[in-house]
Amino acid sequence: MTGDVLVVAGAVLHRSRVLLAQRDYPAEVAGLWELPGGKVESGETPTQALIRELCEELDVRVSVGAPLADVVTPREGLKLVAHRARIVSGTPRAVEHRAIAWVDAQRLAELDRNSQIVPNDIGWIRELTAELQVR
Ligand code: 523
């Protein structure tokens, strides 16, 4: 439907870890961890939006790969997709987040068990955990 908000998130992978970012706002999700990203703006492809967002949020250049299987629709008019990504230049830092962390499969599963993942991103955790275990 036109007018829907599309959000693209990045599963930035390096060896057997994925980069998570800890939200600083709004209050409901502050302190929880997410795949960094943001809204696709008009005229942008999801790939272009993810490159822009990860530059703004992490100060890195990324290349964007295949999407994760789960497309999350938390409510009418909002859709979230996640793409695998790799850093091609720069060292990530938390520009807009409280912190960032490189987490392995075990830590990812632990964050999930402890309800420290933002609710919308939980659908991606199983696939990511399985993928990290074989990298
Ligand atoms: N999520 C979400 N998970 C997730 C991201 C990147 C975003 O649930 N991994 C949600 C949070 C907001 C909406 O998607 O409801 C937009 O995300 P946000 O705020 O990170 O995107 P921005 O930076 O495009 O939006 P503004 O803060 O409004 O500029």
Q: In this structure, what is the dihedral angle of CA atoms 82, 85, 56, 76, given to the nearest 10 degrees?
A: -10
Query: What beta strand segments (E) does the chain contain?
Result: 5-14, 17-22, 33-34, 37-39, 61-67, 72-75, 78-89, 99-103
Q: Is 118 in the pocket of ligand 1 (CB under 6 A)?
A: yes
> What pLDDT shows up at residue 2?
59
Q: What is the pTM of this model?
A: 0.96
Query: Which of 6, 33, 39 has most ligand 1 atoms within 8 Å of CB, for mutation?
Result: 39
Per-residue pLDDT of the chain (135 residues; tens, 9 = 90+): 557 899 999 999 999 999 999 999 999 999 999 999 999 999 999 999 999 999 999 999 999 999 999 999 999 999 999 999 999 999 999 999 999 999 999 999 999 999 999 999 999 999 999 999 998
29 lines ligand 1 (CB under 6 A): no
The residue whose CB lies within 8 Å of the most ligand 1 atoms, and thus the one to mutate among 4, 7, 56, 118, is: 7
Q: What is the ipTM of this complex?
A: 0.94
Q: Give pLDDT, residue 58.
A: 98
Indicate if ligand 1 lies below 6 Å from the C-beta of 123.
no
